[in-house]
Copies of this chain bind each other. A is one copy, B any other.
């Protein structure tokens, strides 16, 4: 331990949070690759799309918390993989409307269910902590930090 008293990487809680989401993501990513041949990033794209009703590129980008350029670049590979179809709005020539193919719907359904089961069974191995209370506290911290962010960075896409 080079410097025990002052930790240079921000408060320790932030480090633990990062580690936790890294582990959770790696776990989900491995399950999705092995069982469904998709990346976690790809699954999230399709899952968010499945919750929307024929969004355009801009709307999907906002819901994914990324830029429209990022979505625009990825659409091609999803269409090539057979999970997504692009439609054109007859009333708005520049709009590109997105929808899942039947294959995409099935993938999101099956992968989502399996992911749900895996995480609930994994979380069941932590009886010492009250997950509902933990979630509530995390939400409280989140809203506080979000307002703190809004004060310092008013035009952030996360607020």
A interface residues, Cβ below 8 angstroms from B: 2-3, 6-14, 16-24, 26-28, 30-31, 44, 47-48, 50-53, 65, 108-109, 112-113, 115-116, 119-120, 122-123, 125-126, 128-131, 134-135, 137-142, 144-146, 148-149, 152-153, 156, 158
Can you report 9 residue pairs joining A to B where beta carbons are below 8 Å apart? A2-B52, A8-B108, A8-B115, A11-B119, A11-B120, A17-B138, A23-B146, A30-B153, A31-B152
Measured between beta carbons, the chain B residues less than 8 angstroms from A65 are: 22
Measured between beta carbons, the chain B residues less than 8 angstroms from A158 are: 19, 22-23, 26
Task: Determine the main DSSP class of A at the interface with B.
Answer: helix
Q: How far is the CB of A146 from chain B (nearest CB, A)?
A: 5
Known: A14-B21, A20-B142, A27-B149. 16 other contacts (CB 8 A): A6-B112, A7-B116, A8-B47, A10-B24, A11-B116, A12-B135, A16-B139, A17-B21, A19-B158, A21-B21, A22-B65, A23-B146, A23-B149, A23-B158, A122-B145, A126-B144
Query: With A7-B116, A11-B123, A119-B10 as given contacts, are A27 and B128 in contact (CB-CB < 8 Å)?
Result: no
Measured between beta carbons, the chain B residues less than 8 angstroms from A148 are: 27, 122, 125
**Residue in B closest to A109 when the chains form the complex, CB atoms:** B8
Does A10 lie within 8 Å of B23, measured CB to CB? no
Q: How far is the CB of A19 from chain B (nearest CB, A)?
A: 6
Measured between beta carbons, the chain B residues less than 8 angstroms from A120 are: 11
Q: How far is the CB of A62 from chain B (nearest CB, A)?
A: 14
Assembly CA distance A48 to B12 (angstroms): 14
